[in-house]
Amino acid sequence: MSKPPAGAGDPDRFGRVEQAGVEYIPEDRRNSGPLNVFTVFFSGTLAFGVIVFGWLPITYGLSFPAAVTASLAGIALGTLLVAPLGLLGPRTGTSTPVASGAHFGVTGRLIGSVLTLLFALAYAAIAIWTSGDALVAGIDRLFGVPVGDGTRAIAYGLIAAEIVVVALYGHGTVVGMQRIVLPVVGVLLLAGIPAFLPDFRSAPEGTGTYLLGDFWTTWVFAVVIAIGGPLSYASGMGDYTRRVARRHGDRRVLLACGGGLFLGLSLTAAFGAFTASAFGGFTGSYADGMVSLAPDWYVVPILLIALVGGLGQGVMAVYASGLDLGALIPRARRVPSTVLTSAASVALVYLGAVVVDAVDSITAMTIVLNVFAGPWTVVILIGFLRTRRRGYDPLDLQVFNERRSGGRYWFTGGWNLRAVVPFAAGSVFGLLAVETSLFSGPLARLAGGVDLSVLGSTLITAVGYLLVSWRWPEQPAVVAAPDEPAPHGGQGSQAARDR
């Protein structure tokens, strides 16, 4: 076996700067487990940047029960689609975008790297913006500090600084920090139930004035928005499961990924809808509405949720952005890449929260990213279900990173057109069918106003990929025996050697 890349075997623990990027991590160097994965994905959802997505359906005119059912339906659908992607990490020892090269081709996996980077930048910006707004509103109420661009800039900078510091340390520190975030923020959120219960209304002000004109089209639109929650984590699954050894088994890893996502997203969505139902009709800033209505004793917990919860969500996005910029630029180091992407996220905060309307920008961004994320995810899911018995070759997945060519996943110049073409077709349909308050595609009214962008793009890609693969099947890969050279003349398959 060839020598592992520099950094792949370095100790990964709390307080030590991680050196590994997206290179292959050998089986015997993995020291994480399913409980860590569950903790990270559960804890990473306990933040205002996620809670705000439970608030959005209320601003669309839905009642509390309708908002919660729409969110739960979307989260369940998204989790079923996304959770299996966590199984690629233990099999490939690398990030999900790099692992996607098995299905898109070793160069075609750049689609996933770009998509992941955009998701990471956007959600890092949301974490900074929402937590910063809550921090400013809370300080204004407690100490009467005027709210202005200057105070917001300081708050955004404070939240960004704590996120970036943890993200720069890397995986071991991220996991250790999330173990603290989960119980602290979890208890603070539970304390919010008695805080807002006196003002709670199942049908708050604004209910019945639907964003898209009638109940069902608006409800389906809220479902589509909710699907974006799990989809935003799809490309980041491997960031944590790549450090889980195969001995833990598929079932435990799958339950850790799916359970962490579904429970965390469902609870935060319900909390967002619950609190928003107490100040229904407020469509400016969720943080402002929450702080203005909160009893005095709950203002300090809001500040802690902003500082600690924002750290939990934001650090996952910033850490992922550093990894994926490194995946786009071979031999780029993770730490300087993280610094660059952090600066871009802070810039997006001002673009999304100062330059344009926050609610509209969140909605539009989520929908547009989802019409790409859905097709990308379903290609990998189908490819995984077809490939899991045959296994993956982790060394051949690193062809692009190592500036090589050839190997098991080379296909046509590094692109698997069987996957790329259906992905492109589905994504184009999704863009044409987009319906947001900022703009509408020419096919947006195709189903009488019901949003088909994400579901349609995903279905078109799935059917197209299955049909194309059936008509022009991939050549079955021959996995070399442990002591034999690989058929393409490179190293033997690590998958075979691990058996």
Residues counted in the chain: 499
Q: Is residue 86 part of a domain?
A: yes
Helices (H), 388-491: 417-432, 453-471
Q: Is residue 168 part of a domain?
A: yes
Q: Is residue 397 part of a domain?
A: no
Q: Which residues contact 218 (CB under 8 A, 6 or more apart)?
A: 60, 61, 62, 210, 211, 212
- pLDDT digit string (tens) for the chain, length 499 residues: 344 444 454 557 888 888 778 889 998 889 899 999 999 999 999 998 889 889 989 999 999 999 999 999 999 999 999 999 999 999 999 999 999 999 999 999 999 988 888 888 878 888 888 888 899 999 999 988 887 778 888 888 888 888 888 988 889 999 999 999 999 999 999 999 999 999 999 998 888 889 888 899 899 989 988 998 899 899 889 999 999 999 999 999 999 999 999 999 999 999 999 999 998 655 567 888 889 889 999 999 999 999 998 888 888 988 888 887 777 776 677 878 888 887 877 777 666 555 555 556 666 777 788 899 999 999 999 999 988 778 899 999 999 888 888 899 999 999 999 999 999 999 999 999 987 766 778 888 777 767 788 889 999 999 999 999 999 887 644 333 333 334 333 334 443 333 3
Q: Is residue 146 part of a domain?
A: yes
Cα–Cα distance list, 395 to 140, 202, 275, 400, 483 (Å): 54, 55, 49, 11, 15
| CATH number of the domain enclosing 327 | 1.10.4160.10
Is residue 455 within 8 A of residue 434, CB to CB? The reply is: no
- 360-364: Cβ within 8 A, 24+ apart: 360/436, 360/437, 360/438, 361/438, 362/52, 362/53, 362/56, 362/126, 363/56, 363/225, 363/436, 363/437, 363/438, 364/436, 364/437, 364/438, 364/439
pTM of the model: 0.87
As for how many domains the chain has, the answer is 1
Phi (first) and psi of residue 91, to 5 degrees: -80, -30
Q: Is residue 11 part of a domain?
A: no
- 319: domain range? 27-363
Q: Is residue 405 part of a domain?
A: no
Phi (first) and psi of residue 147, to 5 degrees: -90, 120
Q: Is residue 222 part of a domain?
A: yes
Q: Is residue 468 part of a domain?
A: no
